[in-house]
Amino acid sequence: MTLLYKRLETSESEKSEYIIRYEDAINDKKELTHQYMNSITDLRASCCSLDERYSSLSKTLDSTKQGSMDWKRKYEQVLSRQKSEEDLASSEIAALKSCGSAAEARLAAAREQSQSAQEEAAEWKRKYDIAVREAKTALEKAAIVQDYTNKQTLLREDALREEFSCTLVEKVS
């Protein structure tokens, strides 16, 4: 009978130790689940932030493209106007040559107009070239930022996986 009581006491103590270990294991599982959910939340927030930045850069790029197209259109209008002015000046020159000294004055005025139109066209061309360079620079910057954020996200994911693996190995051991 004494032997049975001792066995019963031993069984009871082993049972209570097992219950404590079981509760510790459940608590560890809950803590790991909580950490995992926090990591997922952080990654989702990071992903949303990257999506917002991408959207912003995309809008900036579209705006720059539109600006570039506007400058091109303006440049083409100026070029067309310059060509029409040059054509007009050429016809005036032919008519003015037959008119003598009075024609010489008109010819000088037409040349001034032509020079002014050429300078204006050169200015528009310079502005157009600047807009194109800025658009290219914006595209390059957007690509660099995208590459950098992708690399940072991958590094963070790798670090979290490594940490999770180490924690899991420690818990299993």
Dump pLDDT digits (tens) for 43-98: 899 888 888 988 999 999 999 899 989 999 999 999 999 999 988 888 877 765 67
Angle 72-73-79 from CA coordinates, rounded to 5°? 85
CA–CA gap between residue 68 and residue 74 (Å, rounded): 10
H/E stretch holding 100 reads none
> Tens of pLDDT along 135-168?
999 999 999 999 999 999 999 999 999 998 998 8
Q: Does the CA dihedral 22-23-24-25 come out positive or negative?
A: positive
Which letter does DSSP use for residue 99 in this model? T
Cβ atoms of residues 59 and 142 within 8 Å: no
91: domain range? 2-172
Question: 65 in helix, strand or coil?
Answer: helix
More confident residue, 99 or 36: 36
CA–CA gap between residue 164 and residue 38 (Å, rounded): 12
More confident residue, 45 or 173: 45
CA–CA gap between residue 90 and residue 88 (Å, rounded): 5
The CB density around residue 27, as the number of other CB atoms within 10 Å, is 10
Q: How many domains does the chain have?
A: 1
Please report, as a single letter, which amino acid is at residue 156. R
Q: Using 50, 70 and 90 to split pLDDT, how confident is the model at 172?
A: confident
Return the pLDDT at 133: 94
pLDDT surpasses 90 at 99: no
